[in-house]
Homo-oligomer: A and B are copies of this chain.
Amino acid sequence: MIQVNPHYAKLQSSYLFSEIARKVEEYRSAHPDSEIIRLGIGDVTLALPPSITAAFRDAVEEMGSDAGFHGYGPEQGYAFLREAIAEGDFGSRGINIAPDEIFISDGAKCDTGNIQELFATDIRVGVPDPVYPVYVDTNVMAGRTGAYDNGRFEGLSYFVANAENNFIPSPPESGQDTVDLIYLCFPNNPTGATASKEQLAAWVEYAQAHNSLILFDAAYEAYVRDPELPSSIYEIPGAEKVAVEFRSFSKTAGFTGTRCAYTVVPRACTAYDQTGAAVSVRELWNRRHTTKFNGVSYPVQKAAAACFTETGREELRHMTDYYLLNAGLIRTAIESFGYSCVGGVNSPYVWINCRGDSWAFFDRALERAGVVITPGTGFGPAGEGYVRISAFNHRDKVEQALERLTQAFEQ
């Protein structure tokens, strides 16, 4: 008899987005002439910039000629892209990452979801709360948790981010469970909070002291403008031994529908076998990557490489500046309504303390203003009392949404 993985039954249904969809549909039926403005999910809206579109198109043309055709590429990605990243995202900022420590993939969601496979099932996993649900669900599927109870899975450690700690959790203290695998995300999704070098250094120190591994999700690093803030965990000395970093072209270059990301696994990064002997995490990831993945589309990799030309860089800077200006407008408006916020600076998300029920605030924004946002409770218990507003939309939509919200909140 073909028996199913019993752990899938522990997963909670994705109530959040189906409930949002249901409410939006209800509103649409009731207000057929009203345009709904979406500031909910974190999906970019600006077109691919010209130089990147041109590189993408040229590579497609190559594929249409016998001379330029490309079949299977290296599973880990083409050297031209790995080299461009090593220099453009790290070397130029004084961080020493070799091209063969960079693994190209079709998405940070895939990579952050898949990497847990490299580790034993009885390790202790720690995740932020509020959290990007992929970190949790993939560990549930793998059997690293017990049952779901009141917003939490038994057996997981949760790092609560709230106003008390300025939305930057500290590592577990002595007396608390030791965490072996640590998920961190800065600039954070959903809170938009950014960690200082000192705050990241505390996590690196914790990982060193406990032989833990940090999975650092830096999908939003392109929004960091403050030169004092780290955009990579490898700015912290010693992090290369205890941290894997995930990056994406999705929010950096508008690639949510084009699909390209990468994961950095330094040669020094170490895990341990049952005898306590060191094992190279890079070797394990390389084995997984070559066994279960067949590389990213060649034209997509050429498009991604175009992000590192001088023109490409300027175009992307313009794009992230545009969304950051949206974020600033949102934060200013929300604060003017008397709500306190985090994010919206060095981050495309604004996390609002709505002083009450997440869903009530969501309903108010939808029903009074036709604006869709995301209730914080969908990201975990610590998200209750908060909502997330995303800066990913066209300026005129954002301005229109803020005008409508202003009217709604003056009522």
Contact = CB atoms under 8 A, between A and B. Distances in A.
B47 A63 contact: yes
A288 to B, nearest CB: 7
Interface in A109-148: 109-110, 113-114, 117-123, 133-134, 137-138, 141
Contacts of A152: none
A122 B293 CA distance: 25
A292 B114 contact: yes
A256 B72 contact: yes
Which size class do A's interface residues fall under? 35 or more
Contact of A297 (B110, B180, B297): B297
Copies per complex of this chain:
2
A352 B110 CA distance: 39
Given A1-B276, A272-B2, A63 B258 contact: yes
Most buried by B among A60, A106, A256: A60
Interface stretch (A3-11, A168-176, A371-379): A3-11
Given A45-B71, A107-B293, A257-B73, A60 B299 contact: yes
A106 B106 contact: yes
A292 B66 contact: no
Contacts of A72: 41, 43, 256-257
A300 interface: yes
Contacts of A56: 60, 63-64, 299
Given A5-B117, A259-B296, A47 B61 contact: no
A366 to B, nearest CB: 21
A47 B60 contact: no
Per CB-CB distance, the 5 closest pairs between chain A and chain B, nearest first, are: A53-B64, A113-B292, A43-B71, A3-B120, A70-B257
A73 B107 CA distance: 13
A16 interface: no
Contacts of A60: 53, 56-57, 60, 299
Interface string A211-241: 1110000000000000000000000000000
Interface string A173-212: 0000000110000000000000000000000000000111
Contact of A4 (B14, B271, B293, B295): B271
Contacts of A113: 291-293
A157 B272 CA distance: 31
A291 B4 contact: no
A6 B293 contact: no
Contacts of A29: none
A163 interface: no
A290 to B, nearest CB: 8
B110 A292 contact: yes
A246 interface: no
A271 B45 CA distance: 40
Nearest to A120: B3
A299 B66 contact: no
A341 interface: no
A27 to B, nearest CB: 22
Interface in A48-86: 48-50, 52-53, 56-57, 60-61, 63-66, 68-73
